[in-house]
Amino acid sequence: MPSYAVIGASRGIGLEYVRQLASRSDTVVFAVVRNPAGSTHLNAAATGLKNVHIFPGDVVDYDSLERAAKQVSEVTGGKLDYLIHNAANVDVNTAYKGFDDYANMEELDTAFISAYKVNSLGPIHAITAFLPLLRASDTKKIVVIGSGACDPSSSRALRLPNIVAYAMTKAAALLATTKFAFKLQDEGFVVITLCPGMVDCSATAGADSAALADKLNEFSATVKKNTGLEVTRQTPEESVTAQLKVIDGLQASHNGLFLKHTGGEYFPRRSEA
């Protein structure tokens, strides 16, 4: 029975991962969230499902992730097949800001440090906490959900000077994931970063739903103004369906790559560029 741990599963993409993986009758799914009691959408989705377990864990609190890993181990007999790291700092009030949008450098520093702890250190904490369980499995797959925002060529093409804290800290996460890929390669691991594409997660954003929808509209309008391009948004269901096809097809040759949700590399190799 394949086992999956989804880190950051209370809403949006992570929640949809739980939904779709749980629908596979032969799987066991572990949803790791900061506040299980307050995860309304997740609890509703998991109601009556015996193959879904919800455990507390916060990516900025390493000890809590170790406790979550121990709880997973107790269910699976000490192993885990797939780790899907989705947790991210996407505060609707700060994520879309540019350097000049902060009141002062102190505010900028605070926002960047908060984003770095979640977006950059978070995957390091999660991978490290669950690594003993992953090593005990024959599957050994680690997927960190990335973002096209971390790609300098995208910023140039779309002429976007904002979304600075999120983009920079997701870029750090991409490099951290690549380092893990080659650290673990000789043990048979496949470690990738997976870009979900543009996903509208406003439906499960709670009190931030309207504000998030407004920011997505603003982003789309900016891109169209700068480039003439229409931004194609996906639902979480559409994106995760595509992402799971990629994950299901992972092979050793994919280790260390940044992959698109549609398949293929986000950054083509030099021979293919």
Instruction: Output the pTM of the full model.
Output: 0.93
pLDDT at 271: 47
CA distance 151 to 82: 26
Q: Is 147 marked active-site?
A: yes
Better-scored residue on pLDDT, 145 or 211: 145
Q: Is 73 marked active-site?
A: no
Give residue 273's pLDDT band: very low, low, confident or very high (50, 70, 90): very low
pLDDT at 155: 78
Instruction: Return the beta strands (E) in 131-189 as ranges.
Output: 141-145
Of the candidate ranges 30-34, 146-150, 165-169, 251-255, the one whose mean pLDDT is the lowest: 146-150
Residue 158, pLDDT > 80, answer: no
Q: What is the mean pLDDT of residues 81-108?
A: 92
Nearest Cα to 192, choosing from 266, 242, 257?
A: 257
CA distance 187 to 64: 26
CA distance 91 to 231: 21
Better-scored residue on pLDDT, 154 or 51: 51
User: What six digits make up the tokens of 39?
Assistant: 């995860």
Strand partners, 82: 4, 141
Q: Is 97 marked active-site?
A: no
Residue 108, pLDDT > 60, answer: yes
Secondary structure letter of residue 260 according to DSSP: E
Q: What is the mean pLDDT of residues 77-84?
A: 99
**From the CB of residue 187, how many other CB atoms can be counted at a distance below 10 Å?**
10
- Residue in the block written with tokens 């799987």: 27
Q: What is the mean pLDDT of residues 177-192?
A: 98
Better-scored residue on pLDDT, 272 or 174: 174
pLDDT at 268: 59
Of these residues, 64, 137, 147, 239, which one is catalytic? 147
Nearest Cα to 46, choosing from 29, 59, 34?
A: 29
Of these residues, 4, 82, 102, 166, which one is catalytic? 166
CATH entry, 3-260, from 3.60.150.10, 3.50.30.40, 3.40.50.300, 3.40.50.720: 3.40.50.720
Residue 163, pLDDT > 80, answer: yes
**Amino acid residing at 261:** H
Of these residues, 140, 170, 215, 260, which one is catalytic? 170
CA distances from 191 to 8, 21, 78, 186, 262 (A): 18, 19, 20, 12, 18
CA distance 174 to 164: 15
Crossing angle between the packed helical segments 121-135 and 164-184, to the nearest 10 degrees: 30
Phi, psi angles (nearest 5°) of residue 68: -65, -40
